[in-house]
Chain A
């Protein structure tokens, strides 16, 4: 009996968490998934979401592709980022409130190959945009660039 009611409670809690997640996502999403090829996931805390076009992204999300995977995303300031296979990038910080003068974009790339096209944050405040890799920090002045991280 006890076990049953706990099971019911867990189901209820999971349901509530799901509803909260989707409402929250709509309110504070930082962008969305546009292109998915092969195996690509979005890691959000301890949740692993399979990437599909239209999936909303949140600050802190980790984008990850498998050996056959590719992923393309657009952020709310029109920044575009695409990932080749075996790639990991975290949207570490995204703040886009131009009216309040609050702007920040920090991407942390851990491995793989990626391309970047800057959006409004880089135009309005170039110093607000940074891409970090294990060995370098890239400052971006309104432009497009690509990076490949490898272990020779």
Chain B
């Protein structure tokens, strides 16, 4: 058989397969009853969500408050669920919630990739966070104050970020998993004019996710 014919057959087979899959997916009826609950913040209190259906809106702002939406109906009057009910209804999902990402800002000495003594003391916390988030997505972004030119500061920021990456690598972390960058003097923590020395801008910002 000519190769073109084979290819056509293969494409047809794939198309049939896709159609069968699509049919399976649409065969499942869309869930008609949705329950939404606002959860307490770890530090207490709660934020707010608004639940909007085709025929009404309900705003939830108390921890544990829940509303039920049935298709074509407005959301029900909110009721407060206790912890046992929350856990019974949503526990399967809550159990898979990842650990919260953490952020660090470590400061450096003037025109240097040496950490200040205060920031040096925070390194064990940083290393522990990376271990606790394994496999972690770690972003390390170097920054500088506005002394010297842009190009110099870009490189200084990068040296600072790489210094921390080296320290992590020495802890056994694979360097290729680190996202290292420099914003030089373009992303100031403390807004200053140009050519202004500012210790709080000589930093590396880290996210461990």
Contact = CB atoms under 8 A, between A and B. Distances in A.
**Is this pair of chains taken from one and the same complex?**
yes
B173 interface: no
Interface stretch (B36-44, B108-116, B119-127, B162-170): B36-44
A15 interface: no
Interface in B61-113: 69-72, 75, 86, 89-101
Interface stretch (B50-58, B142-150, B152-160, B191-199): B50-58
B90 A113 contact: yes
A100 B18 CA distance: 40
A145 B93 contact: no
Interface residues of A, number: 52
A46 B18 contact: yes
A11 to B, nearest CB: 15
Contacts of B34: 133-136, 147-150
A82 B137 contact: no
Interface string A115-152: 10110000000000000011111111111111111111
B27 interface: no
A83 B31 contact: no
Interface in B14-40: 18, 28-39
Nearest to A35: B96
Contacts of A72: 96-98
A37 B3 CA distance: 44
Contacts of A110: 30-31
Given A115-B39, A135-B34, A136-B36, A146 B93 contact: yes
A152 B187 CA distance: 52
A73 B98 contact: yes
Given A135-B53, A149-B31, A143 B46 contact: yes
Given A135-B69, A145-B36, A146-B86, A84 B47 contact: no
B12 interface: no
Contacts of B89: 113, 146, 148
Q: Which of A6, A34, A139, A141 has the most CB of B within 10 A?
A: A34
A21 to B, nearest CB: 17
A142 B61 CA distance: 11
Given A72-B98, A85-B92, 5 more contacts: A37-B96, A115-B97, A139-B50, A140-B47, A143-B47
Interface of A: 2-3, 6, 32, 34-35, 37, 46, 53-54, 70-74, 76, 78, 80, 82-85, 87, 99, 110-115, 117-118, 133-152
Interface of B: 3, 6-7, 18, 28-39, 41, 46-54, 60, 69-72, 75, 86, 89-101, 133, 135, 137, 187, 207, 209
